[in-house]
Amino acid sequence: MKRILGCVVLGLVTMGASAQWTNPSDDIPAYNAKPPVKPLKPVMSGEQLKGEYFSHPYQVVVYKMAAKIPAVLHQQPCYCRCDRALGHNSLHSCFEGTHGAACSTCMREAVYAYQQTQKGRTPAQIRAGIERGEWQNVDLEAAAL
C-alpha cells in the first residue's frame, strides 16, 4: 500500500514540476508560419463541389473563397483539431478534400481568413484573429450571399 501511495505522490509531484515548462502556445493547432515553398495540393473545385457534402450553397462558396487564398490558409491553424485527428498541417488541408464542407469550424475560419485578406490583413494578423476566436462570429449563410 505504501508503495502504491508513494508512486501516486511521485507521479503528482512529477506532473506539477513539469507544468512549469509547458508552453501555452502548444495548444495552438498545426499551421505553417511561412508561405509555402512548393505548390500546394489544390483546393477542391468545379464538379468536385457537388454531392452529399455540398448540400448548402455556402459550402460551395467557402471552397471558392478558399481556392482564392491557398497560401493564406496554409499559414492558419484549424481549431476543429483536425491536425490531431486527421494529420492536417494547416487550414488549407481541410479544403483539399471534403472535410472542410462537413465542418463549420473549418468553413468559418476560411471565410474569416478570406474576409480579412480582402481587408489587407497579413497571414500573421489573420492567424492572431483566429487564435482569439474572431472566426466564431462568421455567419456562413450570409457569406453565401
Grid coordinates standing for 14? Answer: 512529477
- Residue 108 in any domain: the answer is yes
Residue predicted with more confidence, 143 or 3: 143
- Cα–Cα distance between 62 and 144 in angstroms, integer? 8
Between the alpha carbon of residue 75 and those of residues 3, 6, 97, the distances in Å are 49, 46, 18
Instruction: Give residue-wise pLDDT tens across range 13-33.
Output: 444 433 333 334 458 888 989
- Residue 39 in any domain: the answer is yes
Instruction: Give residue-wise pLDDT tens across range 32-51.
Output: 899 999 999 999 999 999 99
Percent of the chain having pLDDT more than 70? 82
- Residue 91 in any domain: the answer is yes
- Residue 41 in any domain: the answer is yes
The pTM assigned to this predicted structure is 0.80
Range of the domain at 113: 23-143
- Residue 37 in any domain: the answer is yes
- Residue 52 in any domain: the answer is yes
Name the domain count of the chain.
1
